[in-house]
Structure 1
Amino acid sequence: MTSTRAIRTWLVVDVLLVIVLLVLVVVVTSGGSSSPGASAPTTTPASPAATAGPATAAVRLPSGNIACTLSDDGVTCTIASITYDPPAVAGCTGETGHVVVLNDEGVSFACETGPAPTVAGADVRTLAYGSDVTVGDYTCTSATNGVTCVDGDGKGFRLARAKWTEVG
């Protein structure tokens, strides 16, 4: 049961990473301009570059320490620098605490076998403090003290450098 969940979690993470890569390729090949100067509304729809497939959005908090990718299937957030004790992941021989996933199975942390994620670059759209982004049933809200991501039932997580908590 645990290995099935781990496989599903890795599959979701892999799919989201491929989607982010495809969005970045589209942005780079279109001259790097993903928004034509208009100010973004508080609630932002999925990226126009993703209209050919499932809806997606990749955002980072202004600090760059936290970056999230939302899709119709869930949310995956990475955090570069943490000061909280990372949660244990059954069967994990790598690191935990830097990648958190919210999907229809709930909240889980991924087992990382490589290096921890780095601070998100300027090529990822910044989600201003006090703003949110929604894709499908999932919403992430940026704040000066972290990000909160929830599903349509209000269940999810709050992630910050100092701690993480489940919400809802």
Structure 2
Amino acid sequence: MPSSPRWIRTMVVVDVVLVAVLIVLAVVQLSSGRAPDAGASAGATSTASSTPTAPAVAQDAFRLPSGNIACTMSGEGVTCTIADYTYAAPTVAGCTGTTGHVLTLGPDGVAFVCEDGPAPTAAGDDVRTLEYGSESRVDGWTCSSGTDGVTCTAADGTGFRLARATWTELP
């Protein structure tokens, strides 16, 4: 139902992802003084994990190559959605909806979001792909893409690992 809180929340997440992609494209264009090449990735902030440092940006949005996991990062923290999972859905106190599809990391730690409405779908090709073995950094938050899922951490090492079969709170 288009007016349900979950539908609205899903649309807000989609809007944030699209705005983040547009911001990254604008920053790339302004910093290079020319339009990005057709083959250039919109995600200039992702780097191979062998690179010692990555430039920080105000926001980033990406999906893993499978499309099953998508994340948005900002100075406030990280939000990842997973379309399909096989782990036992965690409980969220007071939640009458569903849980398990949306996981956040912020100043207060790791938390699953209580969801109303339909589950998120796999991220489309319009969302930048963070290739396996690459990472993205935004204001002290780091997410790494791997064949075993996504790992997102704060500067102090707290965070989570999220994959189709399992999720783990770190450290």
Normalising TM by the smaller chain, what interval? 0.7 to 0.9
Q: 1:83 is matched with which residue: 62, 71, 86?
A: 86
* CA distance in structure 1 between the partners assigned to 2:80 and 2:36 by the alignment: 22
Q: Aligned AA for 1:94?
A: G
Q: 1:27 to 1:66 in 2, by over 3 A?
A: same
Partner of 2:59: 56
* CA distance in structure 2 between the partners assigned to 1:118 and 1:68 by the alignment: 13
* CA distance in structure 2 between the partners assigned to 1:27 and 1:60 by the alignment: 15
**Contact 2:110 2:160 survives alignment (8 Å):** yes
Matching of residue 23 in structure 1 with residue 20 in structure 2? yes
Quote how far apart the aligned CAs of 1:15 are: 7.3
Q: 2:132 is matched with which residue: 107, 129, 132?
A: 129
Q: 1:105 is matched with which residue: 97, 105, 108?
A: 108
| Residue deviations 1:20-49 (CA, integer Å, cap 9, x gap) | 242356799xxxxx95334663265466xx
**Contact 1:67 1:79 survives alignment (8 Å):** yes
Q: 2:157 is matched with which residue: 135, 154, 157?
A: 154
**Contact 1:142 1:148 survives alignment (8 Å):** yes
TM-score of the superposed pair, with normalisation by structure 2: 0.75
Q: Aligned AA for 1:42?
A: A
- How well do the aligned residues superpose, as a CA RMSD in angstroms? 2.8
| Residue deviations 1:27-76 (CA, integer Å, cap 9, x gap) | 99xxxxx95334663265466xxxxxxx1100000000000000011000
* CA distance in structure 1 between the partners assigned to 2:152 and 2:24 by the alignment: 25
Question: Any stretches of 5+ residues in structure 1 without a counterpart?
Answer: 1-12, 29-33, 48-54
Q: Aligned AA for 2:20?
A: V
* CA distance in structure 1 between the partners assigned to 2:92 and 2:152 by the alignment: 20
* CA distance in structure 1 between the partners assigned to 2:150 and 2:24 by the alignment: 25
Question: What SS does structure 1 have at the residue aligned with 2:79?
Answer: strand
Partner of 2:32: none
| Residue deviations 1:2-28 (CA, integer Å, cap 9, x gap) | xxxxxxxxxxx9976553242356799
TM-score of the superposed pair, with normalisation by structure 1: 0.76
| Residue deviations 1:97-147 (CA, integer Å, cap 9, x gap) | 000000000000000001111000000000000100000010000000100
